[in-house]
Amino acid sequence: MSLAMDDIRYFSVVSETLNFTRASEKLGITQPTLSYAIKRLENELGGELFIRLKNGVRHTELGEAFLDQAGKVLFEWEQAKKIAVDQKSTVSGTFSLGMHTSVALYSMEHFLPELTKKYPQLEFEFQHGLSREMTEQVVSWKLDFGLVVNPKPHPDLVIKEICKDRVTLFKKAKAKNKLIIDPNLIQVASIMKKIKKDQYDGFITSPDLEVIAKLTALGEGTGVLPTRVAAKFKNISPLSGAPDFHDKICLVYRVEKQKSLAAKKIIEVILNSKI
């Protein structure tokens, strides 16, 4: 990577951490080297990018304005390198893919082995979080792809439906009378509006659907779960007549991703997988 592109990449990492010490550790360079690179970039742009605080930094107005552009510049640079690779008729490169951990656990087995077998020069960086967070990171150039649940349309996104799922209440026979939920999920909020919460003796909450499924299988209460997650546990069943929420699991990526041969192959394999 050129010196100028290195400086922009360093700026991006400082923007993520808002701390020069953590950024230099993450980049594997010394703090003076990082500080000099940021100063060099500030000289090029004609103004300061960060305001130094006692426990870190924050962006200046120029830094905020440059942040989005920096992401685009780095993306286009990576695209240019991938296009150069494509011209050699090889499928290689490092691609980032974001998805909820539960989606990862039931989906990756259907496409990742094929990708790594067909294209051994491909490398992947996985990130995990709520689907809306992963979608935002694809939009903002921080992720190449997202495998997300119920994405909202966006003018810069291509959205391809992969499969469907159903979220509802699951229970083991003779379970305790508690409700087990992830309160951060939109699906859970929708279902909670349709049930009488006072019929339960209390709540157990967890941000991990696999934990909720395990607790449900142990009989600790009634879990609000996607069917694909609950299917791993044979001793829990959906409650008859319970409210539900229908999900669409989709592959999302920016329109620009269709320019790269490697990206096209990744898209093709995921879309053709039997998730």
Tell me what the mean pLDDT of segment 217-238 comes to: 96
* Residue 82: predicted pLDDT: 65
The model's pLDDT over 28-85, given as tens digits with 9 standing for 90+, comes to 888 888 998 899 899 988 999 999 998 899 999 998 988 888 888 887 777 776 665 5
Residues paired with 99 in a beta bridge:
128, 147
Q: Say which CATH architecture domain 89-161+249-272 belongs to.
A: 3-Layer(aba) Sandwich (3.40)
The dihedral of CA 210, 211, 215, 216: what is its sign?
Answer: negative
How far are the Cα atoms of 29, 63, 111, 138, 188 from residue 273, in angstroms, in the given order? 41, 42, 6, 21, 28
Percent of the chain past pLDDT 70, that is, above it, reads 95
Tell me what the mean pLDDT of segment 3-25 comes to: 87
The model's pLDDT over 73-121, given as tens digits with 9 standing for 90+, comes to 887 777 776 665 555 557 888 899 999 999 999 999 999 999 999 999 9
* Residue 71: predicted pLDDT: 81
The model's pLDDT over 147-161, given as tens digits with 9 standing for 90+, comes to 999 999 998 899 999
The model's pLDDT over 211-225, given as tens digits with 9 standing for 90+, comes to 999 999 999 999 999
Tell me what the mean pLDDT of segment 166-195 comes to: 94
Q: pTM for this structure?
A: 0.68
Q: Say which CATH architecture domain 3-84 belongs to.
A: Orthogonal Bundle (1.10)
Residues 146 and 135: beta-carbon distance below 8 Å: yes
Q: Where in the chain is the domain with CATH 1.10.10.10?
A: 3-84
The dihedral of CA 139, 145, 150, 154: what is its sign?
Answer: positive
Q: Where in the chain is the domain with CATH 3.40.190.10?
A: 89-161+249-272, 164-247
Averaged pLDDT score across all residues of the chain: 90
1 pLDDT more than 50: no
CATH (one of 3.40.640.10, 3.40.50.800, 3.30.70.20, 3.40.190.10) for 164-247:
3.40.190.10
* Residue 141: predicted pLDDT: 85
